[in-house]
């Protein structure tokens, strides 16, 4: 009887030890949380499209998600018979090229005029303006009477982030006559690569600033 009790105690003890051993194999430590990789920072994008706090009206940075890589400013190989310094607007592909020597060009993505307001031809950049006043033409005011407050007689819309001409404007003349079309900035980066404006060629504000600094007044422009 005593031996049976002893054996039962040993068995209980053995079971207890097994339980302890099994318990020793478990852990209450939480599984490690996978470290999420940091997004790759495109230093060139930040350089070209970062914020510009020293502008007259400080410009915010552009979100890379709204500007497709093919429409970002870049130097490309480009063969043309046009002279260096000429601007060429490729309306089919929504590109603007500034011709450079040695078979290259600075290429910018642009937004263009929607159907019915396109313009094409050969002209010149008559002059350039930083943070220009916007004066809608009479034809536009006739279609949109609410723009009357920005007419020439009322002094136009003053410069600012909400001004449709953006940070810079290049004024296009043909045979010394104002075509009323402009190369200008925009605060709507998602419109690049689309036909949305009333005939003008729009660029991201950071791009039109870069273009403005490279183009001389009187430069030729070809839109086709």
Is 88 inside a domain boundary? yes
For residue 141, the domain's CATH number is 2.40.440.10
pLDDT at 36 over 80: no
The domain tally of the chain equals: 1
Note the pTM of the prediction, 2 decimals.
Answer: 0.80
- The yes-or-no verdict on residue 140 having pLDDT over 60 is yes
pLDDT 10s digits, 63-82: 999 999 999 999 999 999 99
| Residue 170 predicted with pLDDT over 70 | yes
- What residue has token string 């003349």? 173
Q: Which of 184, 205, 212, 221 is catalytic?
A: 184
Residue 6, domain member (yes or no) = no
Please report whether residue 186 resides in a domain. Answer: yes
Average pLDDT over every residue of 119-127: 93
Please state, in angstroms and rounded to a whole number, the distance separating the CA atoms of residues 202 and 189. Answer: 10
Residue 11 lies in a domain: no
Q: Tell me: pLDDT of 125 over 70.
A: yes
Range of the domain at 76: 44-223
Q: Which of 123, 200, 209, 219 is catalytic?
A: 200
Model confidence at 214, in pLDDT bands (50, 70, 90)? very high
Identify whether 93 is part of a domain. Answer: yes
Smallest Cα–Cα separation from 186: which of 173, 171, 174, 200?
Answer: 200
Task: Name the pLDDT band for 114 (thresholds 50, 70, 90).
Answer: confident
Copy the structure tokens of residue 180: 């009323």
Query: pLDDT-derived band of residue 33, with 50, 70 and 90 as boundaries?
Result: low
- Catalytic status, residue 200: yes
Residue 39: C-alpha distances to residues 35, 36, 43, 64, 69 (Å)? 12, 9, 12, 12, 16
The pLDDT-based confidence of 34 (bands split at 50, 70, 90) is low
């Amino acid at each position: 009887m005593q031996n049976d009790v002893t054996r039962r105690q040993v068995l209980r003890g053995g079971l207890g030890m097994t339980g302890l051993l099994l318990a020793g194999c478990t852990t209450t430590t939480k599984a490690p949380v996978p470290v999420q990789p940091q997004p790759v920072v495109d230093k060139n994008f930040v350089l070209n499209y970062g914020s510009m706090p020293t502008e007259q009206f400080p410009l915010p940075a552009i979100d890379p998600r709204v500007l497709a890589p093919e429409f970002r400013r870049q130097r490309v190989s480009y063969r043309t018979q046009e002279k260096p310094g000429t601007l060429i607007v490729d309306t089919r592909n929504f590109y603007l090229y500034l011709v450079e020597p040695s078979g290259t060009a600075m290429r910018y993505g642009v937004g263009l005029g929607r159907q019915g307001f396109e313009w094409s031809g050969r002209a010149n950049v008559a002059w350039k303006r930083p943070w220009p006043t916007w004066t809608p033409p009479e034809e536009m005011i006739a279609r949109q009477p609410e723009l009357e407050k920005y007419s020439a007689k009322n002094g136009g819309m003053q410069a600012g982030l909400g001004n449709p001409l953006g940070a810079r404007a290049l004024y296009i003349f043909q045979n010394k006559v104002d075509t009323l079309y402009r190369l200008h900035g925009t605060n709507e980066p998602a419109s690049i690569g689309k036909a949305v404006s009333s005939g003008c060629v729009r660029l991201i504000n950071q791009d039109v600033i870069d273009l403005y600094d490279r183009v001389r007044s009187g430069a030729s422009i070809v839109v086709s």
